[in-house]
A and B are shown apart, each in its own frame.
Chain A
Amino acid sequence: MKNIRRFIQALFLLFFLWLFLQTESKGANELGYPVKIFLDADPLIWLTTILASRSFYGTFILALTVIIVTAILGRVFCGWICPLGTLHHLAGKLKKRTVPIKIAGLYRIKYLVLIFILALAFLGVQLAGIFDPIALLIRSLSLAVYPMFSYALRSFFDGVYAWNIPFITVGSEFIYGFLKKTVLPFSQPFFLQGIIIGLIVFLILALNLREKRFWCKYLCPLGALLGLLSRYALLKRSVSEDCDGCGACLRSCQGGAGFPGGPGGTAMEKVKAWKSAECLMCLNCDDPCPKNAVSFGFSRKPASAALDLGKRRVLGSVLAGMVAAPLLRITPLAKVGVAEPTLIRPPGALAEEMFLKRCVKCGECMKVCITGGLQPTFLEAGLEGIWSPALVPRIGYCEYRCTLCGQVCPTGAIRKLNLEEKAATKIGLAMIDKGRCLPFAHNMSCIVCEEVCPTSPKAIWFEEVRLRDRKGREMLLKQPRVDLSLCVGCGICETKCPVLGRPAITVTNLGESRSKDNQLLL
């Protein structure tokens, strides 16, 4: 049984990673693969998004399936499917044996986190994505782990290439070419805050060294939600009278099912007090039992030991949510004209208020962004909007005919646009800094911005002006102007402006289609 489970786990992890690798443009308009289905199948994201946005969205069949399966079979998602769970599983292998932490009720933390998240969602604040394992994993892979992986491999192969060792370099280039076609990104990704996001995920994985599946047992809010759903699961563990309380099953337990009551009690009591909500349905305990007393089967018998969270704790968690919601909102950033001007949201993003209620910070849009311009915010959108996507044109512009970010967004925070809609969507406006622009400030020829402007007719046009150079000779110069009614704010002018560092043309979110108020033109 154990090997079957391992096989299934590996299969889902590989499927997840394969979909992750496919979250990249191949040049066509569509990706061609359902790259976001793990997020679609996530009931926590589904539930909190509905609660926070007070609206249904897109695909919910998969999330419902997971809910129903959990209600029947228990937390099989955690034990068999969840890619982060499998990674925890693997990380735990680094240590032969870990001793469970002897603090009673530590497992309650995840339920309290869940209640906190749900309370916030009920009050219209979507923070589930920060803690949700699928969103966390995709974000961490996209913004930190995958860029690291790419950087490490690239620098290795670049090194061998630069040394140009006979035979070896030919071989390494062959391997490099193969890797580029299969697992490496098209170009090296760079993300602001990649370091922080990377440190967080490595810390979470390192917790497995203290106790295996620490995250799953004590912290994961999705695990908590699935635990609640599995309270009355039909698939149950039963222990026959042959049990002599040797505790072999407890040592093999992946979840926290064997320690419902903490350190107290005899092994026999613990074995009997199996908790469905804490069981990951890994079926580990079936194998090592010397008496063959443990078995799993369907039964309608009333549930196992009750889940005792404590009224005060639950109330405390709800209250924390009620405090956090207004605390997050008392930022002037929500006021018209105060909002951070560099907060250029991707094309198709909903109006900011609704956007924040939908965005789960999974990082899919940033992963798929063809130029790498979509970056995680820090506090530009307030703490509530941390790690949500914003375009940083100096890093990468918004490709005029690309609509991938809307295609991969799991919650519709970024709408899926067709090419006509995309062409008509403004994400901001470009403006020229005459003090830095070559034809304005320095009487030099340039207008790269005009060349690269993708709209038709071009938003950037030029006026031919007669000027005199230093020696008084007359010269004809083309000076750029921005037609604000045509500019879509894609930022390619800023990206390609040869005035590096602080470009002579910059985009801000003023004029973005999604906002009713953040407008300039009559």
Chain B
Amino acid sequence: MKRRDFLKNAVMSGAALTLPLGMGPFLSLAAGAERPDLAVVRGASPARITGAAVNELGGMRRFVSRGDIVVVKPNIGWDRTPEYAANTNPVVVAEIVRLCYEAGAKKVKVFDHPVSDARRTYKQSGIADAAAAAGAQVSFIDERKLKDMAIKGQHLKTWPLYTEIVEADKIINVPIAKVHGIATLTLGMKNWMGIMGGWRGRIHQRIDESLVDLARFVKPSLIVLDAVRILVDNGPQGGSLADVRRLDTVIAGTDQVAVDAFGTTLFGMKPDTLGCVRIGHSTGLGNMNISKLRIKRIAI
């Protein structure tokens, strides 16, 4: 099955499933039921597709309330410029920041704990400038704010995490879709490594279980997966334009497992091939059965 066919089937079956729901005793929830689980928007303008995807889910006001302090967490892991698809698209990040303020957020914070030097990653990724221009408070990780936290996961019991994450009113995950050596792919859940302190490379020993533990702990309100450009080889750092595919797509959702499950299809994979998706599904963090999800696909 080709990826496109697969997606088409997924959308069709998803749509078919939603129909009886709308007619049942859930009429009072009609507004909610009409909302898709995932919004997949394709188009030439990264800002517009980002806005449209959030809109399909009910608009940013569904996720951000007036006066909220919001953390927007992109992937700013590597010293690469945007066209190499190693970091989240800066326009997507800036648009999310803008929408948050539009929804009444008091303050929007943008940060990541990069692998390469933070000054270079922030600058070269274009994210620091773009997010700051949109009004975000862009800051480097302050080591003093990495504190041991009781994650109480199955494998990750305690780990130093960034306190600004737990102190935030709302968290929005804005990862980019890339291939990755040990994790196969890095999508939404993998992005939480960017709030970890300590010798986080150690979690590679049980990467999938640890990521699910982290994702369960963080609980983002919204996930916007950037697939404007995806990295299909030599990930997660890339370094060659030949390894970049332009999909001009963003995927938005509230279910961390569902977003990542859909993310696998961008690479022609099945959701259950990704360990953290499989474990996230089986432990009830979310739903990886794309066929059972309501997926709204639009092109603009």
Contact = CB atoms under 8 A, between A and B. Distances in A.
Query: Is chain B a partner of chain A in the same complex?
Result: yes
B239 A454 contact: yes
A366 to B, nearest CB: 16
Contacts of B199: 498, 500
Nearest to A423: B239
Contacts of B140: 186
A355 B98 CA distance: 52
Given A450-B182, A451-B181, A445 B123 contact: no
B13 interface: no
Interface stretch (B43-51, B58-66, B101-109, B202-210): B202-210
A64 B125 CA distance: 42
A25 B122 CA distance: 12
Contacts, number: 93
A457 interface: yes
A298 to B, nearest CB: 51
Given A447-B204, A451-B182, A401 B124 contact: yes
A25 B119 contact: yes
B174 to A, nearest CB: 20
B79 A445 contact: no
B284 interface: no
B243 A456 contact: yes
Interface residues of A, number: 35
Contact of A455 (B116, B123, B239, B243): B239
B236 A27 contact: no
B120 interface: yes
Interface string B247-289: 0000000000000000000000000000000000000000000
A451 B236 contact: yes
Nearest to A158: B144
Interface string A24-59: 011110000000000000000000000000000000
A76 B14 CA distance: 83
B205 to A, nearest CB: 5
Contact of A26 (B115, B123, B238): B123
B117 interface: yes
Contacts of B234: 456-458
Contact of A400 (B79, B123, B202, B207): B79
A370 interface: yes
Interface in B74-129: 79-80, 115-117, 119-124, 128
Given A446-B204, A456-B234, A25 B120 contact: yes
Nearest to B119: A27
A446 B180 contact: no
B9 interface: no
A26 B124 contact: no
A399 B117 contact: yes
Contacts of A462: 181
Interface residues of B, number: 32
A164 to B, nearest CB: 11
B79 A478 contact: no
B206 to A, nearest CB: 7
A426 interface: no
B158 interface: no
Nearest to A446: B204
B117 A456 contact: no
A27 B182 contact: no
A371 interface: yes
Nearest to A460: B181
Contacts of A186: 119, 140
Interface in A430-449: 438, 444-448
Contact of B204 (A25, A448, A453, A457): A448
A248 interface: no
B201 interface: yes
Contacts of B243: 456
Contacts of A243: none
A207 interface: no
Interface in B178-194: 180-182
A500 B202 CA distance: 11
A161 interface: yes
Contacts of B238: 456
Given A446-B182, A447-B181, A456 B240 contact: yes
A293 interface: no
Contacts of B239: 454-456
A281 to B, nearest CB: 42
Given A498-B199, A498-B202, A28 B144 contact: no
A279 to B, nearest CB: 46
A496 interface: yes
B173 interface: no
A452 interface: yes
Contacts of B123: 26-28
A399 B201 contact: no
Q: What are the 3 closest A-B residue pairs judged by CB atoms, nearest first?
A: A27-B123, A456-B239, A448-B201
23 contacts: A26-B119, A27-B117, A27-B122, A27-B123, A27-B124, A186-B140, A370-B119, A371-B117, A399-B79, A399-B117, A399-B120, A438-B205, A445-B182, A445-B207, A446-B204, A448-B201, A451-B237, A454-B237, A454-B239, A456-B240, A497-B201, A498-B202, A500-B199
Given A457-B233, A498-B201, 9 more contacts: A186-B119, A400-B79, A400-B116, A445-B205, A445-B207, A451-B181, A451-B201, A454-B239, A456-B238
